[in-house]
Amino acid sequence: MRKADKQFCFSYFGEDIYLFRLTNSKGTEVCISNYGATILSFTLLQKNGSRNNIVLGFDKVEDYSADNYLNANPYFGAAIGRYGNRIKCGTFTLDGIEFSLAKNLGADHLHGGNTGLDKRVWKCGDYSSNVLVLSYFSPDGEEGYPGNLFITLQFELSEENDLSYTYSAISDKSTPVNLTHHTYFNLDNGEGNVGNTLLKINASSILEQDKHLTVTGRLTEVKNSFYDFRQLKRINADWNPKSGYDQSFVLDSVNPSIAAAEAYSEKSGLWLQVLTTEPIVHLYTGGGIPTITGSNNKQYGAFSGFCLETQVHPNAINIPSFPNTILRPGQTYHQRTTYRVREENPVNTFNFLSLRSK
């Protein structure tokens, strides 16, 4: 089995940081680092001979630990956990014991805390030309969470240009776990604003949020609202031009063989499908992306990319009616998401003539 290209980058607090390049026979290349289990690039060779990097990131792993990036911390392409999204007031009660987490977004806890999985050095496991296995041991009490948690994350690039990631985790104490990945997509080689990208999300409802964007426990129908993406439409068709979207969509069904969301760029001709085992797709359109230079000297800023974060309901640890996010000793956490990219409509669902008339 041919090995992936593995390149030493630098040492970070005594731990070695590497860059891995996964490839397939179609000329697709995915660069991933064990710093934050970060996807730096996802580059496809298109039929016209051009190379198109469809995710936001940096050319060098070192840039992810630079102060100008960390001060804004948009989580470019990073693993997120132990708990994705927001936990209200950074607290939860488990088996009668109250736990206080790091409060890194006002009074709330976001994406695992001050030093979440995105800033940790993962251990490098097995790897080949198209598979990379990383692992991380999160000790009892890290960022306020109970239990020693051992996480494995496997990336796989198929010959059909499917990039999948699979999480598994075990713990020696009961602990909340809700892992995701924070890949920003821009199907036009990282150029321009993603507002014109066409998007569909198979969700009839969203999770209501308070003014701090923390979910309340109530669901709201998307019908007749600007959150209605049940049919393909431009991201900017109904958005607030100042803030865009930062919203959790509740999928109508959870079926990892059916696309939960899909996006299309008329400029590049690329289709993206997201398939997942998770019940939520959180749409974030990058309103908080700082003005910063990314890969190949691309200039990023607000709305340069969009995220489709797959996860269980945010703040579910505090809302009994939401799905369970407690991992008990003896259980194994599992999450799998696939990014499927094609230069033709994968399911032939949409009428291009009607799209172009809008």
Catalytic residue, from 142, 282, 309, 313: name it: 309
131 in Cβ contact with 166 (< 8 Å): no
Map tokens 């969009």 to a residue: 306
Q: Which residues contact 348 (CB under 8 A, 6 or more apart)?
A: none
Is 212 an active-site residue? no
3-class DSSP state of 60:
coil
Catalytic residue, from 111, 181, 182, 282: name it: 182
Conformation bin of residue 79: beta by default, left when phi > 0, alpha when psi is -120 to 50: beta
Please provide residue 295's backbone torsions phi and psi, each rounded to the nearest 5 degrees: -55, 140
Please provide residue 35's backbone torsions phi and psi, each rounded to the nearest 5 degrees: -80, 110
Instruction: Compute the C-alpha angle 144/277/323, nearest 5°.
Output: 55
Question: What is the distance between the alpha carbons of residues 190 and 194, in angstroms, rounded to a whole number?
Answer: 9
| DSSP letters for 221-261 | E-TTSTT--SS-EETTSSS-TTT--EEEEEES---TTS-SE
Is 156 an active-site residue? no
Question: Annotated catalytic sites, by residue?
Answer: 182, 309
